[in-house]
Amino acid sequence: MTKIKTTLVVATMALAMAGCAKKRPAELPPAPVEQNAPVDPNAGANTNPDGAIVPGSDADFKRSVTSNTIHFSTDEYDINPESRAILDSQAQWLMRYPNVRITIEGHCDERGTREYNLALGDRRANAAKNYLAARGVSPDRMNVISYGKERPIALGSDEAAWAQNRRAVTIVLS
């Protein structure tokens, strides 16, 4: 009888320990697109065989618009006048290519909790989406995603780095 009890106790402990095992982390989204990088004329779907940039491609977008990135103040998601000008240039380009789909990424600086920054990044991406929609771009063509503080463009714990990381980035999908 004691052998059965011992076996049951050991089995119960083994099950309890297995339940406490670390779970595999969820897969992270793909790496962010490098901001303000020079356009590579040999960038596959962005170029013709002769190396010319394909109209309506991400390379064409980056070449044609003021910027693919807008910035925000601390804990803000309002579109400022400088960002309006950038988004206006994006809207004009998107109106020329009505079949092009985009994703708007929302990003934050490292301060704040993960949950807070994911929510703030979502509000930033949606603010950019709503602005573009108000300029005539169909909301059906736009997806939003928040990376929160998970994908900083600038490393560092100072105002200069934080200012670069508080952003929304428009990515043209191939």
The third-level CATH classification (topology) of the domain covering 42-172 is 60s Ribosomal Protein L30; Chain: A; (3.30.1330)
**What was the pLDDT predicted at 29?**
53
Identify the segments of the chain with pLDDT beneath 70. 1, 13-45, 47-48, 174
**What was the pLDDT predicted at 46?**
73
Return d(Cα 103, Cα 74) in angstroms, integer: 23
Tell which residue, 95, 96, 109, has the closest CA to residue 138: 95
Kindly state the greatest CA–CA separation across the chain.
83
**What was the pLDDT predicted at 153?**
95
**What was the pLDDT predicted at 40?**
44
**What was the pLDDT predicted at 28?**
52
**What was the pLDDT predicted at 99?**
93
**What was the pLDDT predicted at 9?**
73
Specify the pTM.
Answer: 0.72
What's the length of the chain? 174
